[in-house]
Structure formats: structure tokens, C-alpha cells
Amino acid sequence: MLKKARENKGLGTREVARLLQIDAALISKFESGQRQPTKKQLHQLAELYAISLDALTLLWLTEKILREISGEPLGLQALQAAEKQLNPEPQKPQNSAIDALLEEMNALKNKMENLRDNQ
């Protein structure tokens, strides 16, 4: 994504390195996946290339996670445990057909009581 964005802007790696005040070899390593930019560098690259910071950050985080858990027998389980910690509140299950019917009956009951009270 970084290489394509750089090329779309018509920039060379040396020019990007000069603008961001980092080593040109580092830009090549970011593009090849040998190294990951810092969060600050990520922001600078997104701004320089005029690309979505959210999309770039999502890709950056995904790569960081995969580097840590790839090849780990419990990697997927660890990821699922982390997800539970990030989303501690259980998702409310969708109402079943019976629950939806009961809610509708309650609403009708309330309407009928209101009609009776207004007579």
C-alpha cells in the first residue's frame, strides 16, 4: 500500500526520506514489509501520500498482530481472548420471533389501555 501510494504521488524513496527526515533505506524496508513505521511515521506517511490514516493504521495494526501470533499454536486463542478484553460487554442477542411478538403485544396493550382511559 505504501509503495503504491508513493508511486501515485510521483515520489521517489529518497525524496520521501528527505521530507520525513529519515533514512531512504527505511522507506524501502517499510514498503517491502521488512520494517514497520512508528505511529508518528505512519501519520506522516498518510499525510504526505494523502491516503486514509484509518486504512493505513488498520493495515499497520494487522501486520503487528500477525507478526506476534503467526506460528504460535495458541495464537488464535490469544487473539480471541484479547478481543473479549477489548469488548467486555457481551453483545445483546437479537430478539427471537417470540420476543418480538411479546413486545408488539405489550405495545398494543398499552394503546388499548390509553384508549380506555381517554373514554
pLDDT at 90: 64
- pLDDT tens digits for range 27-85: 999 999 999 999 999 999 999 999 999 999 999 999 999 999 999 999 999 999 999 88
Would you say residue 46 lies in a domain? yes
pLDDT above 90 for 114: no
Contact 56, 39 (CB under 8 A): no
Q: Which residues contact 16 (CB under 8 A, 6 or more apart)?
A: 6, 24, 27, 45, 48
Q: Looking at residue 73, what is its pLDDT?
A: 92
* Residue 91 domain flag: no
CATH number (domain holding residue 22): 1.10.260.40
Q: Is residue 100 part of a domain?
A: no
C-beta neighbour count of 6 within 10 angstroms: 21
Residue 26: its pLDDT value, please? Answer: 96
**Domain interval for residue 18:** 1-71
How many other CB atoms are there within 10 angstroms of residue 7's CB atom? Answer: 12
**pLDDT above 90: residue 9:** yes
Which residue's entry shows cell 490469544? 78
94 within domain boundaries: no
Q: Is the pLDDT of residue 93 over 80?
A: no
The answer, yes or no, to whether residue 119 has pLDDT greater than 80, is no
What are 104's three cell numbers? Answer: 408488539
Domain count within the chain:
1
CA distance 48 to 66: 26
Measured in whole angstroms, the distance separating CA 66 from the mean position of its chain's CA atoms is: 14
The half-sphere exposure of 58 on its side-chain side, counting CA atoms within 13 A, is 5
Look at residue 27 and tell me if it is in a domain.
Answer: yes
CB atoms within 10 A of CB 42: 19
For the full predicted model, state whether its pTM sits above 0.75.
no
